[in-house]
Amino acid sequence: MTSSHKPVLALTLGDVAGIGPEITAKTLLRHPELRDVCVPVVIGDADSLRRGARDAGLDPQAVRVIADVRDATNDPALIEVVQTGPSLAEVVVGELSPVAGDAAYRFVVEACRLAREGIVDAIVTAPLNKAAMHAGGHTWPGHTELLAHEFGVDNYSLVLSAGDLYFFHLTAHVSLQQAIADTTPERTDDIFALAGAFAEALGSPDEPIGICGLNPHAGENRIFGDEDADVLAPAVERARTKGINAHGPIPADALIPAAVKGKWKMVVACYHDQGHAPFKAVYGDDGVNITVGLPVVRVSVDHGTAFDIAGTGIAREASLVLSCERAASLAPQWDTVYQAAQRSRVTT
């Protein structure tokens, strides 16, 4: 049995045609220090993991199938995996596969079940391929929306994090046109509720939270659009009346560089690439993706499946290692985060 004081992580393998199996093998066999802070158990496919270990120059015999997460020994010389569905040994590496897409979906659903039943304390996800998942019959925009569905929540945010910097997202996996339509007073109130609750749970209830302007120059006094003045600015004022230290809208090309320089720790981006592009350009493997608003910790790598290098042995595991470390550190206090978000939304 595992030690009760260490958070148990369900590490989903992602799309096995990508780099997920390789970076998982590298993470669990090259970084024994992780076992000091958590108990990582893979939810996925043993044959794919063995192949990933071989690609990484590691021992495929280190992969051990267990029937139940609670049977994990946390031996740093082993990769312990709960086989979830049939073998995926026939999946071709580097090629889009509906079989792999269906399996990636299945791994996440199983991890969510384990979390709902209190068997695991956090979920860590290796990357899946959205096109493959859709080809496999599951038309979710991405991990974040699937997880929200599985836990029955409708107020959540994709949050990119590096160190103590957090980029919340008002909208995420939608077209730019849809993102503009989804920038509503209600959604903006919700994102401030989430960010404020997260700051409170981390022990910094007065942390300033800056929201990027939707339009260039935050609308420039309505020259470049009305959304900043009509939607975002009033939401900032409403948040401030509720004790949330909200600011903005501030032009993104001013707010984000200031955050990178340490002047802000909490930033709200209005759409996917407004947050993702600068974050990934600056932080690369030093970043992770946290889903705030779920009743359980979920942390993911901030990169994709990298079909172009899958099977070559050169994929970097740094972001997955960091994801495990961040999930382990957040798990003991996560109920406080979730409850704070629920309370904040009630009063919004």
Q: What is the CATH number of the domain that holds 3?
A: 3.40.718.10
Same domain for 118 and 62, yes or no, is yes
Same domain for 271 and 140, yes or no, is no
Residue 347's pLDDT band (cuts 50, 70, 90)? low
Same domain for 287 and 165, yes or no, is yes
Query: Which of 284, 303, 287 minimizes the C-alpha distance to 14?
Result: 303
Same domain for 107 and 181, yes or no, is no
pLDDT of residue 343: 64
What total number of domains does the chain contain? 2
Greater pLDDT, 157 or 60:
60
This prediction's pTM: 0.88
In a domain, 236, yes or no: yes
Same domain for 109 and 247, yes or no, is no
- 225 burial class (0-12, 13-18, 19+ CB within 10 angstroms)? middle
Same domain for 78 and 225, yes or no, is no
pLDDT of residue 1: 37
In a domain, 338, yes or no: no
Rounded-to-integer distance, Cα 201 and Cα 180, Å: 30
Contact 173, 272 (CB under 8 A): yes
Same domain for 208 and 251, yes or no, is yes
Same domain for 29 and 98, yes or no, is yes
Same domain for 19 and 122, yes or no, is yes
- Ramachandran quadrant class, 140 (left: phi over 0; alpha: psi -120 to 50; beta: rest): beta
pLDDT of residue 346: 54
| Residue 30 pLDDT > 70 | yes
| Residue 302 pLDDT > 90 | no
Question: What DSSP character marks residue 91?
Answer: P
In a domain, 343, yes or no: no
> Sheet containing 165-169: which strands, arranged edge to edge?
63-65, 79-83, 39-44, 8-12, 122-125, 297-301, 288-292, 157-162, 165-169, 266-269, 209-212, 246-250
- Domain containing 243 equals 157-292
Rounded-to-integer distance, Cα 303 and Cα 104, Å: 16
Contact 50, 89 (CB under 8 A): no
In a domain, 336, yes or no: no
| Residue 106 pLDDT > 60 | yes
Pairing of strands 266-269, 209-212: parallel
Same domain for 235 and 286, yes or no, is yes
| Residue 56 pLDDT > 70 | yes
In a domain, 340, yes or no: no
Could you give the C-alpha distances from 234 to 195, 220, 261, in angstroms and in order?
Answer: 17, 16, 27
pLDDT of residue 3: 43
The pLDDT tens digits for 124-156 are: 999 999 999 999 999 988 888 899 999 998 888
- 214 burial class (0-12, 13-18, 19+ CB within 10 angstroms)? buried
Average pLDDT over the chain reads: 92
Over residues 270-284, the mean pLDDT reads 93
In a domain, 342, yes or no: no
Phi (first) and psi of residue 188, to 5 degrees: -65, -40
3-state secondary structure of 142: coil
- Residue written as tokens 């609670």? 70
Contact 327, 297 (CB under 8 A): yes
pLDDT of residue 203: 86
In a domain, 341, yes or no: no
Same domain for 112 and 126, yes or no, is yes
The percent of residues in the chain predicted with pLDDT above 70, rounded, is 96
Same domain for 138 and 194, yes or no, is no
